[in-house]
A and B are shown apart, each in its own frame.
Chain A
Amino acid sequence: MANLIEIKNLHARIGEKEILKGINLTVNEGEVHAIMGPNGSGKSTLSAVLVGNSAYEVTEGTVTFMGKDLLKLLPEERSWLGLFLSFQYPIEIPGVTNVNFMKAAVNEHRKYKNLPPLSAAEYLKLMRAKMGIVEMDPSFSSRGVNVGFSGGEKKRNEIFQMAMIEPKLSILDETDSGLDVDALRIVANGVNKLKNSGNGYILITHYERLLDYIVPDFVHVLYNGKIIKTAGKELAVEIESRGYDGFIKESEK
């Protein structure tokens, strides 16, 4: 099982406010990690820092992804290497159609791999197949990216993009938030279909519910910018019944 990402003592801040205070996390191929934690613990900051959001400044620590120093790379280079973030709040881009967006993305990935761009017919075939994974209607392809999409449709669109790009490591930032049971099942099924022994997942979530569908190998509790506890799937069940308080008090002893 090859190593995908190794995060060591990662510190990051936004403005003067330090949010990540020494994160250590390693994800290997084939693994699913869940990161849970109360609001404001740094979950979304962690995902933003990993994909290169320039609003955050890394002050200490290292991140090695696919053998490379991730923190030195541009956001697009991180994507080419195989990193993907399913946004908690996907951005709407009026005027750019989903099809032009994804065609540009897929072809840039192919260029990086020294492959020729897909022909229109090849792209269409690929797109149809991947849309099927998240039960998305092909009519979405001609609409502006996320424009007028419901919350559930936006999240499905994120997973569709993930399916098109076939990343090595995907971070799903609260992909379950705002989804009804049916949408949650479709999204989770999509992820399960894409999961294999060669890729890895980090699921950021508030609720155990998602983890009933996508079963994690590890559950981490993030609090105040640090991982304070790591265990198996059973930890999520425990959090659901007891809340975070107990773990927080234990960690502060």
Chain B
Amino acid sequence: MKDLKYIFKDDGGFRCGVPLMDSRQVVITDGVINRMDATGDYIIKNPDGAFSLSLQDGRRPSGSIQIVKVLDNPGSSAKSDNYITVGKESSSRMLLCYHTMSEAAYSSVEKVHVSIQENASVVLTVMQNQNSRSDCEFGLVADLAQGASLKLNLITLSGGETRNRPSINFTGEHAGCEVNGLYLADGSQKIDTVVNINHMVPYCKSSQLFRGILNGKAVTKFNGVIYVAKDAQKTEAFQANNNLLSSEQARAYTQPHLIIYADDVKCSHGATVGNLNEDELFYLRSRGISLEEARQLQQQAFAYGVLSKIDNVELRRELEIMTAKRLRGELTGCMACVKG
């Protein structure tokens, strides 16, 4: 994996060409909405360079809504508090993309507050693809009411220094969340993830799978906290963090924390840091697959462990292709971004 070059330049008519046949798009460039499809059931506002998106009770739009936040003006920095509210009994699929549009240095502090009300369900995929000079802090705080469900896919394809801080709070019983994370780092990129899952009430389930692939001199840190309050009986909470080091100099740190005050719970965690599997590499090479190609196949397979959790086939395919390109150092910007 080589350093990314960002050759893509926005000419004002930016549009994301990815995804999802049925998606509605909102593009926010340097904090200002510059493109918005008819958003159907969603209500979108744009206060102070942020977005606020809400879906009223009982609404179940069939397609996805995609918010693309791009940093364009070189040297621009952004700090914003954003809100997503999904009403009772609603269901929503969302894609949130973060891009930098040139090779200039950018910095951003982005917070997203998500409120998922009773029996609502949300699938939120966050895709970060920023250049190696960018500095990005991304905080996501999700509150899940009774019976609510959240599936969060956090895909970090690239970034200079990225600090991801997802926190999930269970405020109502019988809620569940699944968090799938993939981070790719190379060169001197740094990705630091702190996950907090707070089980405050009984009968909730959480599961996390985070995987990292490191090349070059990349450094990643993963800190996963599962907190189970005294009254949160019958909690089920699982966490896994696996890291694949594809170079000698890359460093992955991983630290699981389980803080459990209830006595009738099922909780577990597992953390690994490993190199490419020599037996697999040899088997692939014995069939005529060159060492470099065998390494690529193995890294893609490792990433697939996370990407396979994304239910939307179209989006999954795009992310698989982008991941493969990224691992080959071929991805220049988000390849699906088109000018139009």
Query: Interface residues, chain A, CB within 8 Å of chain B?
Result: 51-54, 74-76, 78-80, 84-85, 87, 90-91, 93-96, 100-102, 104-105, 108-109, 112, 144, 161, 165
Query: Once the chains are docked, how many angstroms separate the CA of A220 from the CA of B106?
Result: 70
Query: Once the chains are docked, how many angstroms separate the CA of A75 from the CA of B284?
Result: 9
B282 at the interface (CB under 8 A from A): yes
Q: Could you tell me if B287 and A101 are in contact, using CB atoms closer than 8 angstroms?
A: yes
Which residues of chain A have C-beta atoms less than 8 A from B284's C-beta? 93, 96, 101, 104-105
Interface residues of B in 282-306 (CB under 8 A from A): 282-291, 293, 297-298, 300-302, 304-305
Which residues of chain A have C-beta atoms less than 8 A from B290's C-beta? 76, 108
Query: Once the chains are docked, how many angstroms separate the CA of A96 from the CA of B300?
Result: 8
Q: Could you tell me if A93 and B283 are in contact, using CB atoms closer than 8 angstroms?
A: yes
Closest 4 CB pairs of A and B: A95-B301, A79-B288, A91-B283, A75-B285
Query: Interface residues, chain B, CB within 8 Å of chain A?
Result: 279-280, 282-291, 293, 297-298, 300-302, 304-305
Decide yes or no: A100 and B285 within 8 Å by CB, A76-B291, A95-B302 being known contacts: no
Which residues of chain A have C-beta atoms less than 8 A from B297's C-beta? 93, 96, 100-101, 104
Which residues of chain B have C-beta atoms less than 8 A from A78's C-beta? 286
Q: Could you tell me if B288 and A80 are in contact, using CB atoms closer than 8 angstroms?
A: yes
Which residues of chain B have C-beta atoms less than 8 A from A80's C-beta? 288
Query: Once the chains are docked, how many angstroms separate the CA of A85 from the CA of B291?
Result: 17
Q: Could you tell me if A51 and B286 are in contact, using CB atoms closer than 8 angstroms?
A: yes
Q: Could you tell me if B287 and A74 are in contact, using CB atoms closer than 8 angstroms?
A: no
Other-chain contact of B289, A84, A90, A95, A104 (Cβ < 8 Å): A104
Instruction: List 25 contacting pairs A-B, 8 Å CB cutoff, sorted by A.
Output: A51-B286, A53-B282, A54-B282, A75-B286, A78-B286, A84-B286, A87-B283, A90-B283, A91-B280, A91-B283, A93-B284, A93-B297, A93-B298, A93-B301, A94-B301, A95-B301, A95-B304, A96-B284, A96-B300, A96-B301, A101-B284, A104-B297, A105-B288, A108-B288, A165-B288
Which residues of chain B have C-beta atoms less than 8 A from A90's C-beta? 283
Other-chain contact of A108, B279, B283, B293 (Cβ < 8 Å): B293
Query: Once the chains are docked, how many angstroms separate the CA of A52 from the CA of B283?
Result: 11
Query: Once the chains are docked, how many angstroms separate the CA of A70 from the CA of B293?
Result: 22
Which residues of chain A have C-beta atoms less than 8 A from B286's C-beta? 51-52, 75-76, 78-79, 84-85, 87
Query: Once the chains are docked, how many angstroms separate the CA of A18 from the CA of B287?
Result: 27
Decide yes or no: A76 and B279 within 8 Å by CB, A95-B304, A104-B297 being known contacts: no
Q: Among B279, B286, B288, find the residue whose CB has the most chain A CB atoms closer than 10 A.
A: B288
